[in-house]
Amino acid sequence: MFPFNLTHADGSARRGSLHTPHGRVETPVFMPVGTAGSVKGVTPIQLKATGARLILANTYHLQLRPTADVVRELGGLHRFMGWEGPILTDSGGYQVFSLGGINHITDDAVEFQSHIDGAPMRLDPRIAMDIQSKLGADIIMAFDQCPPLPSDLDAIKTAVDRTIRWAKDCKVAHRRTDQALFGIVQGGLDLSERRRCTQALVEMEFDGYAVGGLSVGESHEEMVETLLPVATWLPKDRPRYLMGVGTPRDILAAVKAGIDLFDCVLPTRNGRNSHAFAAGGPVKMRNEQHKVDDQPIEADCDCETCQQFSRGYIRHLFNAGEMLGPTLTSIHNLRFYQRFMARIRELIELGRLSTIVEEYPIASPAASQDKEDNQ
């Protein structure tokens, strides 16, 4: 039910399409993040107008509230969110290890506390699969352990051992044929552990493969050095997903390495904080220089924000504390990312991906960009 067709290549960069029960997705693709079943600040209609086709929702947060049972009772995640296109849900593993107060971890499960009210919770591969089955996303993720950076080699090996074991358990527990299951490669910045994890997951024959444990504090150069070999070890005929990435330059580097799917909170997080993306670099909408500027955020952008509103007006909204300011900037940022990905796809078809930095200096390896923890 999930054919993945590759149509063009430019070096290791791939152009293709992934078919899901809720529609076809052109790759490489960027997924806006709808953590709690909502991409912050925008409606599904506005989100679709930005060009988004595949979005991500967060298993951990949805299980805390309203719970997967409630989502299922209300018709599944697509109906619950009012989103007709494909959805990917993570397994909750990253959030458990980064947000929850961990009480106990074994090779079988993690027991932790809700970051909302401190209630005790348990998550293991079977529970993660059951939750995601109830949510009903098109693509679901195996339960994994993401080691923090920095971690010593023993801690990384332990996390990889558990990731491999839990991946096997997820395969056994996975029942729905209308959901594609992706395995997640862990291993920190240690290439030998990355290779061991990759080989074990490939032998299990997942529908696709994700690279986790990056965008957690390493440098851009460290990310690229880790990603380049890992991408070559993954099957060519399956989609490849780099979790939690990221900035335009990180995405471009990963596309060049052969990655197909991306997600990140930056378009809406930055939008809420008055930072707009533009091809030449970020635009800070609160700055005094925009006070009487009647130009749009970006002159050649076709988004609703740039077609109707000036920088001066948007600056006024932020300074007046109006909700519309973050919404309009988020809409622009979401459209910026979709235009950026569309241009990447076009240039791969033309065999000219290397020229994109001429149009998008923000994606240059030398561009100065803040790196955040985005998974």
User: In whole angstroms, how far apart are CA 185 and each of 142, 143, 201, 258, 373?
Assistant: 10, 11, 8, 15, 18
Exactly one of 90, 144, 207, 260 is catalytic; name it. 90
**What span, in angstroms and rounded, lies between the C-alpha atoms of 44 and 58?**
17
Q: Work out whether strand 261-264 and strand 29-34 pair parallel, antiparallel, or are unpaired.
A: parallel
Classify 123 as helix, strand or coil: strand
User: In whole angstroms, how far apart are CA 76 and each of 26, 184, 236, 295?
Assistant: 24, 24, 32, 42
Do residues 81 and 113 lie in contact, with contact meaning Cβ atoms separated by under 8 Å?
Answer: no
**Amino acid identity for residue 57 in this structure:** A
Do residues 310 and 281 lie in contact, with contact meaning Cβ atoms separated by under 8 Å?
Answer: no
Is 263 designated active site? Answer: yes
Helices (H), the chain: 44-49, 59-64, 68-73, 77-81, 93-98, 125-135, 153-173, 191-204, 220-233, 248-257, 266-272, 304-308, 311-319, 324-350, 356-359
What is the torsional sign of CA 345, 42, 265, 90? Answer: negative
Is 107 designated active site? Answer: no
Number of H helices, E strands in the chain: 15, 16
Strand partners, 170: none
Burial 244-268 (b: 16+ CB within 10 A, else e): bbbbbbbbbbbbbbbbbbbbbbbbb
Exactly one of 10, 152, 263, 294 is catalytic; name it. 263
DSSP 8-state assignment for residue 197: H
Q: How many residues does the chain have?
A: 375
Assigned token pair, 90: 């993570």
Catalytic residues: 90, 263
